[in-house]
Each structure stands twice: as structure tokens, then as C-alpha cells.
Amino acid sequence: MSYPPPLSGSAQDETVELRPKFDAEGLVAAIAQDVDTGEVLMLAWMNADALQQTIDTGRAVYWSRSRKELWRKGDTSGHEQHVVEVRVDCDQDAILLKVRQTGAACHTGRRACFYRIAGPAGLTRT
């Protein structure tokens, strides 16, 4: 599937048409946020098919850059993301999913991927 191309300048910021601005690899960044707590769970990538399937089905679907295939979150792990809302940013090169997360969003088994704080002396685990 494909979307119409991005518009230029402020027209892209204000349009009510979905016109994702994919990068050279055909991807946009997608943030998953817990709709109840506001916790940022993870960041992953979507191509056009992943984005459309997410909108159509209410399940988060990403593009795995390492495996080079569509990846419906939870199909292997059981850790599904049920999508309450899909948002796009001003120039439509980033997606924000508000989700209900089953179990762990992170492949390490942690609830969220951002479990380390960076400081001048390195990282601290939370």
C-alpha cells in the first residue's frame, strides 16, 4: 500500500490527510506510550503497511529492521499492544501510539525499554 506524498512547509503541518514522511528506507519512528500511566514504553519503526495495519486493526504492527519483516507486537511473545489512539506529528515523520500493553513492552522482559538513566559517569539502572 502507499500514501500520498508529504506536502511542503506548513501545508504538511495542517493537512487532515495522512501523508507520512518516510525516510530513505521507507520508515517512520513510532513511539508507544501507555495510555493510562503516560509511561513511554518503547520506540520502533513502521513502514506504510505497518502503519496502515495498525490503524485498521488496533494492534501495533512494526517493521523489524533486523529481520526485515512486519512484526505484529505480541504474536511471538504474547506481549500485545492494543492501540487506543494513533497520532502523527507536525511533519508526519513520527507516530505516537497510545496503547494498552499486555505484559512487557521490552524484549528484556521489562515493562518499558527506557530503564537506564544516562549521566556524566555512565548509565544507572532504575
Helix (H), strand (E) at residue 49:
helix 48-57
According to the binding rule CB under 8 A, does residue 11 interact with a copy of itself? no
Q: Which of 40, 70, 72, 102 binds a copy of itself (CB under 8 A)?
A: 40
Cβ 125 to a copy of itself shortest distance, Å: 7
Tell me which residue has cell 512486519. Answer: 70
What minimum distance in Å lies between the beta carbon of 118 and a copy of itself?
4
- Residue among 15, 77, 100, 103 that touches a copy of itself (CB under 8 A): 15
